[in-house]
């Protein structure tokens, strides 16, 4: 088992990465301080892992369970109310611990419920998708979608621990696995050219879910994110770099309808648009753009935006993005592979040119 630390003073917490963590009662119990637990999962994950986790917590006096529908389209306030309803029905106190057993949707909703129930209770992330393991479970971003924009309602609220059991990836469908690889590739692009080169050399092993390759990719991704979050917990500076590809990607998700494009698929397409814009601005080289497109393709990810989306559609959705500051859209661009920057002076003509270049 590998153990990383997110260093945030009194809000610091461990990230455990290894096999068979869902059989390790000790690491769960050391993160649970009260006598009450609510496990929240979804209809896909419940038949696979809910009972196993429930049995693991047999020494906890009160363990409640809640199963929500599966899908990005359910990431909304109505589902948060269902979590509150169960907490209140079961008379959970401020010493309770919520456990998010699922992908990014469950993790974000449980985190938001934990941040707001009785003004804040403990929660543990148990991510079951590759995307949530390498991205959304780490860093304390919680929330739900609004029809006008993704993750527009939420809070920064850190978990007590993140338990990454790599064995759960055995049941992950190929499309979901590829979506997670998109976020792994992102880390190489924004801060680690050596890791990007490693991915080029090992993408075949990674897509075959080779144990060693997978563990290495997850550890590097989590280590990179943990380091950035430790420097900028509330996204006032360097943490914005983690949004590379997300400004365009979130616009795709909102336009197409949540769940039609998986988050990682939309981010992959968004990264290509952002990389193309970076080339036009004279930073990234044509050769580097070609390498990015080739690696995404090898990961079975889209490199073209939806044919249904026009430039006006992108601009409309991006104006509602959380990264808009004082009326200006902030874009994460690449100076080279492994070096990202934040800019806010991109013109509409440049956006049109970049999107047209990705058709």
CA 33 – CA 180 distance, rounded (Å): 32
Residue in 119, 201, 345, 359 annotated catalytic: 119
Q: Which of 72, 86, 176, 235 is catalytic?
A: 235
∠ CA 333-106-47 to the nearest 5 degrees?
130
Is 250 marked active-site?
Answer: yes
**Residues paired with 17 in a beta bridge:** 2, 164
The residue from 42, 145, 151, 243 that is catalytic is 243
Is the Cα dihedral 97, 140, 54, 20 positive or negative?
negative
Catalytic residue chosen out of the listed positions 75, 82, 92, 141: 141
Q: Which residue is catalytic, options 250, 291, 317, 322? A: 250
Active-site residue, selected from the candidate residues 239, 291, 323, 330: 239
- Euclidean distance between CA atoms 198 and 196, whole angstroms: 5
The answer to whether residue 141 is catalytic is yes
Could you say which of 150, 225, 291, 322 is catalytic?
A: 225
For residues 4, 106, 96, 218, the Cα torsion angle rounded to the nearest 10 degrees is -10
Residue 298 falls in the annotated catalytic set:
no
7 is catalytic: no
Tally Cβ neighbours within 10 Å of residue 23: 12
Active site residue 219: no
> Could you identify the residue written with the tokens 């153990």?
3
The residue annotated as part of the active site, out of 75, 186, 223, 246, is: 246
119 a catalytic residue: yes
Instruction: Find the catalytic residue in 72, 86, 176, 183.
Output: 183
Examine the residue annotation and report whether 92 is marked as an active-site residue of this protein: no
How far from the centroid of its chain's Cα atoms is residue 285's Cα? Answer: 28
Write the burial class of residue 116 (CB in 10 Å: 0-12 exposed, 13-18 middle, 19+ buried): middle
State yes or no: is 243 an active-site residue: yes
Please give the positions annotated as active site. Answer: 119, 141, 183, 225, 235, 239, 243, 246, 250, 263
């Amino acid at each position: 088992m590998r153990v990383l630390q997110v260093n945030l003073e009194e809000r610091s917490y461990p990230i455990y990465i290894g096999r068979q963590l869902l059989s390790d009662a000790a690491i769960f119990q050391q993160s649970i301080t009260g006598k009450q637990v609510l496990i929240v999962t979804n209809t896909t994950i419940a038949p696979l892992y809910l009972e196993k986790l429930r049995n693991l917590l047999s020494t906890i006096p009160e363990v409640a369970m809640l199963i929500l529908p599966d899908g990005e389209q359910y990431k909304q306030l109505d589902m948060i109310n269902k979590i509150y309803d169960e907490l209140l029905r079961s008379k959970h106190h401020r010493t309770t611990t919520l456990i998010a057993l699922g992908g990014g949707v469950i993790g974000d909703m449980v985190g938001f419920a934990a941040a707001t129930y009785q003004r804040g209770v403990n929660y543990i992330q148990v991510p079951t998708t590759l995307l949530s393991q390498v991205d959304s479970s780490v860093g304390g971003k919680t929330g739900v979608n609004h029809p006008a924009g993704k993750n527009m309602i939420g809070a920064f609220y850190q978990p007590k621990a993140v338990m990454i059991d790599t064995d759960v990836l055995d049941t992950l469908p190929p499309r979901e696995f590829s979506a997670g690889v998109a976020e792994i590739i992102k880390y190489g692009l924004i801060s680690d050219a050596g890791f990007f080169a490693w991915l080029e050399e090992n993408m075949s092993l990674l897509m075959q879910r080779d144990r060693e390759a997978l563990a290495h990719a997850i550890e590097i991704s989590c280590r990179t994110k943990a380091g950035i979050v430790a420097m900028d917990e509330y996204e006032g500076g360097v943490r914005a770099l983690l949004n590379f590809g997300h400004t365009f990607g979130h616009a795709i998700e909102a336009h197409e309808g949540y769940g039609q494009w998986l988050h990682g698929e939309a981010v992959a397409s968004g990264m290509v648009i952002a990389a193309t814009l970076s080339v036009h601005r004279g930073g990234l080289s044509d050769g580097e753009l070609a390498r990015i497109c080739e690696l995404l393709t090898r990961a079975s990810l889209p490199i073209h935006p939806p044919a249904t989306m026009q430039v006006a559609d992108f601009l409309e959705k991006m104006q509602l993005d959380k990264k808009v500051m004082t009326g200006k859209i902030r874009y994460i661009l690449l100076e080279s592979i492994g070096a990202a920057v934040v800019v806010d002076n991109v013109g509409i003509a440049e956006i049109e040119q970049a999107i047209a270049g990705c058709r």
